[in-house]
């Protein structure tokens, strides 16, 4: 008997969403990187994370790279563009945190506007720890940057109405629906946001992210189930591309944050941080992430090559 | 190929004798097709039919083993393509590649790394299970002396002997048979001799071919010799082709139900890149899909920490959440007066709580009682986390003898337990902590300040 190569054909397809003016996410009709089965859609995008304030809490190795530019997000973003050429920039408004600098929505909007004027790639706009504050800053930023197709990370159960209405409808940007590692929660939030009137092509989702070792099995299983529901059962409420903010999770865990003095046997802290970021990114990409957000330039280089080699 | 109930029925004696425990031959056949009983239960079936049936009703992917004693490992035996469908069974094992052409310093460095990476994470011991040896010198003695050096310096590794020359493979197999090595290097030309060596010493045999179709033919050839302890390599040495091999060999077994490919696979990541961090990315992919042995060029802590953790996550049974061992954990340089917190034994909760306590830089103790492995609210709702289980942990782990503090910080979500715990533990004061772990750093700093003043 001769070998017959198996293949899985699906009736469903991940929706293709355009971020900014030309960055396409999604569009695949096969499981992640299953080129041998059919159309893998747009190449997963790789973005870099910057902050609106100096990233005091980042490990020294990252501050050595970005510190010189990190006092100004525009300088920082331009440095990333010139040196590492990411597909998008994710600006995180940590300075808006009410427990920290508590910057006003107007101030955040001015920063976003300056960035939009100077950065040639699309932006993803992320907030701080407060859902309530995020709703306020997202509304102002979306208003200042209408019809840009920028992604707002994220609308959660507590603020999806404000975020959805402003970013997704009134000002023509893209809403990322964030839930925590549960297919049903992801589906419910997607439905609620579309019921507001946000068009599915103006949506992406983050069904939860974690660093490897920290409940990562829930992340992978939720994503596996979402992709199978989207492709195999043609469930339109789960066909949004997935954006995974990998760096938000991996740099705070012990493996990345512990100093060499504290853990001498673990060796280079910088290498640990990079390896945790890379393993997590490769892990979510293998489960169907359509875009990953990273911090370290080495991670950006490796993950981009990883994607290129698979497609 | 798997048989259905009717196909099995045709092979039965159709006597309806009931001696198998089923009312009719048809009922027996149906049960057999679902894997609910064994062909041996029928006393009247011909041996030929029994063999055919045993073959047809066996699981789609064979479980094979290598190593010896407490270093014996199982590979394969998987039933599903996604862990949520049931669970993955036998986790992939990591190998570090040695070459008898490489210099002594590199060999020494890898030996040091293998011996250094040896730690426990959530009750699982993490270490490199396999050392792979490539014979590029074609010099038998040189090859054997390298294997001897590494296996005597690294007591835990099982060797994987890589050679397509049956003469060399046989000499090395003879020498190290007591370690239960893997013999890798059967191909379409030498497979008869290689299967002979593996079968003589009862070893796992690695089979290699240029592509999946050629591998399929070679496996059929080896199977026809009656040898079935196999590890497969579709020959892909770019990430793309190797991923194609891993996915399609697994799908052939589980989706096409074709047992020619019903064996575990090996991924030679060390041959796909020269960059350590790229190896980490590739290995992460193969942990999820679907290699059973992942061969790396080295394994230092920066590679081990993410890869062993990822493997542990992916191979956790979805129906049984990971549990941390009960006990009292010291975070930072905590002393007998440091704060004492209690949380549950659900591993994820413990990691989040301990991470936040570390972030706070307030040395503390965390007490883990028996909470059934659930999260805080679930453990409380199911009665697993209560005053009695917490008081029991205080006693079992001799907290009163170890610490001077008589204050216990409980999760804010179970504030209702405060008075119950105080009743159970005379002399103790219960402090209601935060509802979310993220608020712990601020809480602990304030708590420490209050204590100091």
Chain B nearest-CA distance from A50, in A, is: 21
Portion of chain A with pLDDT greater than 90, in percent: 98
- How far is residue A229's CA from residue A213's CA, in Å, rounded to a whole number? 26
Three-state secondary structure call for residue A64: helix
Q: Is A3–B217 a contact, with Cβ atoms under 8 angstroms apart?
A: yes
Q: Is B82–A36 a contact, with Cβ atoms under 8 angstroms apart?
A: no
Would you state the pLDDT for residue B2? Answer: 61
Residue A185's H or E segment, with its range, is helix A183-196
- A111, A115, A116, A117 alpha-carbon torsion, rounded to 10°: 110
Cα torsion B7, B9, B10, B12: sign: positive
Chain A nearest-CA distance from B313, in A, is: 5
Q: Is residue B319 part of a domain?
A: no
Chain B residues with beta carbon closer than 8 angstroms to that of A278: 277, 280-281, 284, 306
Question: A127-142: per-residue pLDDT in tens?
Answer: 999 999 999 999 999 9
**Residue B189: partners with Cβ closer than 8 Å, 6 or more residues away:** none
**Residue A234 contacts residue A271 (beta carbons within 8 Å):** no
**Residue A125 contacts residue A109 (beta carbons within 8 Å):** no
**pLDDT tens series, chain B, 453 aa:** 467 888 888 888 888 898 888 999 999 888 887 767 878 788 888 888 877 777 776 778 999 999 999 999 999 999 999 999 989 999 999 999 999 999 999 999 999 999 999 999 988 999 999 999 999 999 999 999 999 999 999 999 999 999 999 999 999 999 999 999 999 999 999 999 999 999 999 999 999 999 999 999 999 999 999 999 999 999 999 999 999 999 999 999 999 999 999 999 999 999 999 999 999 999 999 999 999 999 999 999 999 999 999 999 999 998 877 788 899 999 989 999 999 999 999 988 998 899 889 888 899 999 999 999 889 999 999 899 999 999 999 999 999 999 999 999 999 999 999 999 999 999 999 999 999 888 899 999 999 999 888
**Residue A36 contacts residue A5 (beta carbons within 8 Å):** yes
Q: Is B301–A267 a contact, with Cβ atoms under 8 angstroms apart?
A: yes
Which of these three, B282, B314, B346, is where a domain ends?
A: B314
Name the residue among B213, B171, B216, B209 with its Cα closest to residue B190. B209
**Residue A209 contacts residue A251 (beta carbons within 8 Å):** no
CA–CA–CA angle B346, A253, A303 (5° rounding) = 115
**Residue A247 contacts residue A277 (beta carbons within 8 Å):** yes
**Residue B292 contacts residue B267 (beta carbons within 8 Å):** no
Residue A25's H or E segment, with its range, is strand A23-25
CA–CA–CA angle B182, B171, B176 (5° rounding) = 50
Chain A residues with beta carbon closer than 8 angstroms to that of B355: 252-254
**Residue A14 contacts residue A239 (beta carbons within 8 Å):** yes
Which of these three, B284, B314, B344, is where a domain ends?
A: B314
Q: Is residue B155 part of a domain?
A: yes
In a mutational test of the B interface, the residue from A1, A4, A6, A59 whose CB has the highest number of chain B CBs within 10 Å is A6
What's the number of domains chain B is made of? 3
Chain B nearest-CA distance from A235, in A, is: 18
- How far is residue B302's CA from residue A269's CA, in Å, rounded to a whole number? 8
Q: Is A306–B239 a contact, with Cβ atoms under 8 angstroms apart?
A: yes
Q: Is residue B178 part of a domain?
A: yes
Of A214, A257, A298, the CB nearest to B348: A214
Question: A72-125: per-residue pLDDT in tens?
Answer: 999 999 999 999 999 999 999 999 999 899 999 999 999 999 999 999 999 999
Would you state the pLDDT for residue A1? Answer: 79
Task: Give mean pLDDT, residues A210-230.
Answer: 96
Tell me the HSE value of A129 on the side-chain side, using a 13 A CA sphere: 10
- In CATH, what number is assigned to the domain containing residue B25? 1.10.15.40
Q: Do B173 and B25 fall into the same domain?
A: no
- How far is residue B142's CA from residue B103's CA, in Å, rounded to a whole number? 12
Would you state the pLDDT for residue A99? Answer: 87
Reading the block at residue B165, the tokens are 């020359």
Chain B nearest-CA distance from A285, in A, is: 9
- How far is residue B453's CA from residue B431's CA, in Å, rounded to a whole number? 17
Q: Do B205 and B238 fall into the same domain?
A: yes
**Residue B382: partners with Cβ closer than 8 Å, 6 or more residues away:** B372, B374
**Residue B326: partners with Cβ closer than 8 Å, 6 or more residues away:** B345, B368, B369, B370, B393, B396, B397
- How far is residue B26's CA from residue B38's CA, in Å, rounded to a whole number? 14
Domain holding B190, by residue range, is 63-314
Q: Is residue B321 part of a domain?
A: no
**Per-residue three-class SS string for chain B:** CCCCHHHHHHHCCCCCCCCCCCCCHHHHHHHHHCCCCCHHHCCCCCHHHHHHHHHHHCCCCCEEEEEECCEEEEEECCCCCCHHHCCCCCCCEEEEEEECCCCHHHHHHHHHHHHHCEEEECCEEEECCEEEEECCCCCHHHHHHHHHHHHHHCCCCEEEEECCCHHHHHHHHHHHHHHCCEEEEECCCCHHHHHHHHHHHCCEEEEECCCHHHHHHHHHHHHHCCCCCEEEECCCCCHHHHHHHHHHHHHHHHCCCCHHHCCCEEEEHHHCCCCHHHHHHHHHHHHHCCCCEEEECCCCHHHHHHHHHHHHHHCCCCCCCCECCCEEEEECCCCCCCCEEECCCEHHHHHHHHHHHHHHCCCEEEEECCCCCCCHHHHHHCCCCCHHHHHHHHHHCCHHHHCCCCEEEECHHHHHHHHHHHHHCCCCEEEECCCCHHHHHHHHHHHHHHHHC
**Residue A174 contacts residue A149 (beta carbons within 8 Å):** yes
Question: A47-72: per-residue pLDDT in tens?
Answer: 999 999 999 999 999 999 999 999 99
Would you state the pLDDT for residue B42? Answer: 86
Instruction: Please report, for residues A170, A182, A194, B48, B179, the alpha-carbon distance to residue A189 in angstroms, rounded to integers and kept in the order given.
Output: 19, 11, 9, 58, 55
What strands, in cross-sheet order, belong to the sheet with B429-432?
B327-331, B364-368, B340-342, B407-410, B429-432
Chain B residues with beta carbon closer than 8 angstroms to that of A256: none
Q: Is residue B134 part of a domain?
A: yes
Compute φ and ψ for B267, nearest 5 degrees.
Answer: -120, 120
Chain A nearest-CA distance from B341, in A, is: 19
Would you state the pLDDT for residue B1? Answer: 46
Its pTM surpasses 0.95: no
Compute φ and ψ for B285, nearest 5 degrees.
Answer: -60, -45
Q: Is A6–B121 a contact, with Cβ atoms under 8 angstroms apart?
A: no
Reading the block at residue A180, the tokens are 């925590």
In a mutational test of the B interface, the residue from A213, A263, A304, A306 whose CB has the highest number of chain B CBs within 10 Å is A213
Query: Which residues are A205's β-sheet partners?
Result: A177, A242
Look-up: residue for tokens 């009931």? B18
Does the N-terminal peptide bond of residue A154 adopt cis geometry, omega within 30 degrees of 0? Answer: yes
Q: Is A278–B284 a contact, with Cβ atoms under 8 angstroms apart?
A: yes
State the DSSP code for A293: E
**Residue B166: partners with Cβ closer than 8 Å, 6 or more residues away:** B190, B193, B194, B196, B197
- How far is residue A72's CA from residue B401's CA, in Å, rounded to a whole number? 54
Of A221, A255, A274, the CB nearest to B277: A274
Q: Do B261 and B337 fall into the same domain?
A: no
Q: Do B231 and B193 fall into the same domain?
A: yes
Look-up: residue for tokens 């390599």? B233
Chain B residues with beta carbon closer than 8 angstroms to that of A274: 277, 302
Q: Is residue B376 part of a domain?
A: yes
- In CATH, what number is assigned to the domain containing residue B379? 3.40.50.11600
Would you state the pLDDT for residue B111? Answer: 98
Q: Is residue B15 part of a domain?
A: yes
Reading the block at residue B447, the tokens are 């708590």
Q: Do B248 and B163 fall into the same domain?
A: yes
- In CATH, what number is assigned to the domain containing residue B100? 3.20.20.20
Give residue B231's region: left, alpha or beta (phi > 0; psi -120 to 50): beta
**Residue A44 contacts residue A16 (beta carbons within 8 Å):** no
Chain A residues with beta carbon closer than 8 angstroms to that of B352: 214
Task: Give chain A's length.
Answer: 311
Q: Is B180 exposed, middle or buried (0-12, 13-18, 19+ CB in 10 A)?
A: buried
Q: Do B72 and B39 fall into the same domain?
A: no
Compute φ and ψ for B265, nearest 5 degrees.
Answer: -120, 160
Name the residue among B284, B263, B277, B282 with its Cα closest to residue B182. B263
Of B84, B282, B358, the CB nearest to A254: B358
Instruction: Please report, for residues B6, B30, B318, the alpha-carbon distance to residue B35 in angstroms, rounded to integers and kept in the order given.
Output: 14, 9, 23
Give residue B239's region: left, alpha or beta (phi > 0; psi -120 to 50): alpha
Compute φ and ψ for A48, nearest 5 degrees.
Answer: -115, 140
Residue A190's H or E segment, with its range, is helix A183-196
State the DSSP code for A167: I
Chain A nearest-CA distance from B87, in A, is: 11
Question: A149-194: per-residue pLDDT in tens?
Answer: 999 999 999 999 999 999 999 999 999 999 989 999 999 999 999 9
Q: Do B310 and B344 fall into the same domain?
A: no
Look-up: residue for tokens 């503090």? B405
Kindly list the structural domains of chain A, giving each domain's residue range(s) and its CATH number in brackets, ordered by start: 33-306 (3.20.20.20)
Would you state the pLDDT for residue B319? Answer: 83
Q: Do B157 and B27 fall into the same domain?
A: no
Which of these three, B279, B314, B349, is where a domain ends?
A: B314
Nearest CA in chain B to A36: B244
In a mutational test of the B interface, the residue from A275, A292, A296, A307 whose CB has the highest number of chain B CBs within 10 Å is A275
Q: Do B411 and B358 fall into the same domain?
A: yes
Q: Do B167 and B258 fall into the same domain?
A: yes
Q: Do B51 and B68 fall into the same domain?
A: no
Name the pairing type of β-strands B93-99 and B71-76.
unpaired
- How far is residue A230's CA from residue B328's CA, in Å, rounded to a whole number? 45
Query: Which residues are B64's β-sheet partners?
Result: B75
Look-up: residue for tokens 């945190």? A97
Q: Is residue B320 part of a domain?
A: no
Would you state the pLDDT for residue B46? Answer: 83
Chain A nearest-CA distance from B363, in A, is: 13
**Residue A28 contacts residue A41 (beta carbons within 8 Å):** yes
Q: Do B21 and B157 fall into the same domain?
A: no
Query: Which residues are A126's β-sheet partners?
Result: A92, A153
Would you state the pLDDT for residue B34? Answer: 74
- How far is residue A291's CA from residue A284's CA, in Å, rounded to a whole number? 9
């Amino acid at each position: 008997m001769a070998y017959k190569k198996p293949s899985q054909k699906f009736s469903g397809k991940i929706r293709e969403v355009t971020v900014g003016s030309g960055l396409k996410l999604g569009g695949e009709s096969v499981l992640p990187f299953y080129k041998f089965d059919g159309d893998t859609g747009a190449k997963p995008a790789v973005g870099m994370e910057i902050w609106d304030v100096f990233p005091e809490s980042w490990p020294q190795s990252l501050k050595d790279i970005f510190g010189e530019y990190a006092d100004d997000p525009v300088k920082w973003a331009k440095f990333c563009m010139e040196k590492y050429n990411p597909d998008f920039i994710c600006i995180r408004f940590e300075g808006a945190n009410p427990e920290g600098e508590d910057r006003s929505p107007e101030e955040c909007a001015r920063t976003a506007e300056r960035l939009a004027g100077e950065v040639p790639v699309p932006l993803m706009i992320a907030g701080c720890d407060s859902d309530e504050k995020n709703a306020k800053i997202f509304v102002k930023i979306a208003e200042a940057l209408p019809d840009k197709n920028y992604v707002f990370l994220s609308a959660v159960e507590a603020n999806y109405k404000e975020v959805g209405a402003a970013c997704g409808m009134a000002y023509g940007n893209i809403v990322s629906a964030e839930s925590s590692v549960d297919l049903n929660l992801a589906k419910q939030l997607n439905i609620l946001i579309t019921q507001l009137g946000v068009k599915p092509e103006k949506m992406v989702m983050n069904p939860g992210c974690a660093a490897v070792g920290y409940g990562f099995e829930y992340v992978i299983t939720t994503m596996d189930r979402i992709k199978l529901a989207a492709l195999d059962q043609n469930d339109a409420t789960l066909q949004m591309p997935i954006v995974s903010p990998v760096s938000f999770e991996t740099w705070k865990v012990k493996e990345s944050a512990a100093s060499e003095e504290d853990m001498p046997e673990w060796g280079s802290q910088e290498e640990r941080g990079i390896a945790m970021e890379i393993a997590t990114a490769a892990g979510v990409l293998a489960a169907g992430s359509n875009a990953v957000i990273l911090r370290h330039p080495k991670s950006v280089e490796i993950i981009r090559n990883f994607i290129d080699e698979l497609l | 190929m798997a048989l259905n109930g009717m196909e099995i029925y045709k092979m039965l004696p159709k006597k309806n004798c009931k001696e198998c425990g089923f009312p009719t031959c048809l009922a027996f056949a149906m049960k057999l097709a679902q894997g609910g009983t064994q062909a041996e239960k029928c006393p009247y079936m011909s041996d030929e039919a029994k063999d055919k049936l045993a073959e047809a009703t066996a699981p789609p992917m064979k479980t094979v083993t290598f190593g010896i004693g407490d270093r014996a490992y199982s590979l394969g035996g998987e039933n599903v393509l996604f862990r949520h469908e049931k669970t993955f069974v036998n986790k992939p094992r990591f190998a570090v590649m040695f070459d008898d052409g490489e210099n002594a310093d590199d060999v020494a460095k890898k030996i040091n790394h293998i011996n250094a990476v040896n730690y426990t994470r959530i009750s699982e011991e993490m270490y490199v299970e396999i050392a792979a040896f490539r014979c590029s010198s074609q010099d038998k003695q040189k090859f054997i002396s390298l294997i001897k050096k590494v296996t005597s310096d690294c007591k835990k590794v099982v060797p994987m002997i890589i050679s397509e020359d049956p003469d060399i493979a046989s000499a090395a197999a003879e020498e190290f048979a007591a370690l239960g090595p893997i013999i890798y290097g059967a191909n379409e030309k030498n497979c008869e001799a290689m299967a002979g060596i593996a079968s003589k010493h009862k070893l796992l045999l690695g089979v290699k071919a240029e592509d999946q179709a050629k591998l399929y033919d070679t496996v059929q050839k080896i199977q026809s010799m009656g040898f079935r302890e196999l590890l497969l390599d579709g020959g892909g040495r770019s990430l793309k082709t190797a991923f194609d091999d891993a996915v399609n060999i697994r799908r052939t077994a589980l989706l096409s139900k074709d047992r020619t490919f019903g064996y575990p696979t090996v991924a030679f990541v060390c041959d796909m890149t020269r960059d350590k961090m790229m190896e980490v990315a590739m290995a992460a992919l193969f942990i999820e899909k679907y290699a059973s042995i992942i061969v790396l060029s080295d394994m230092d802590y920066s590679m081990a920490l993410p890869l062993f953790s990822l493997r542990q996550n992916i191979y956790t049974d979805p129906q049984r959440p990971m549990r941390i061992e009960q006990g009292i954990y010291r975070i930072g340089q905590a002393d007998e007066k440091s704060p004492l917190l209690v949380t549950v034994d659900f591993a994820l909760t413990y990691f989040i709580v301990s991470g936040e306590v570390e972030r706070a830089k307030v040395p503390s103790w965390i007490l883990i009682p028996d909470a059934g492995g659930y999260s805080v609210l679930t453990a409380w709702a199911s009665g697993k986390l209560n005053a009695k289980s917490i008081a029991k942990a205080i006693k079992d782990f001799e907290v009163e003898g170890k610490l001077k503090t008589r204050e216990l910080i409980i999760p804010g979500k179970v504030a209702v337990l405060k008075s119950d715990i105080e009743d159970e533990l005379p002399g103790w004061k219960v402090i209601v902590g935060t509802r979310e772990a993220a608020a712990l750093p601020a809480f602990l700093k304030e708590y420490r300040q209050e204590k100091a003043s």
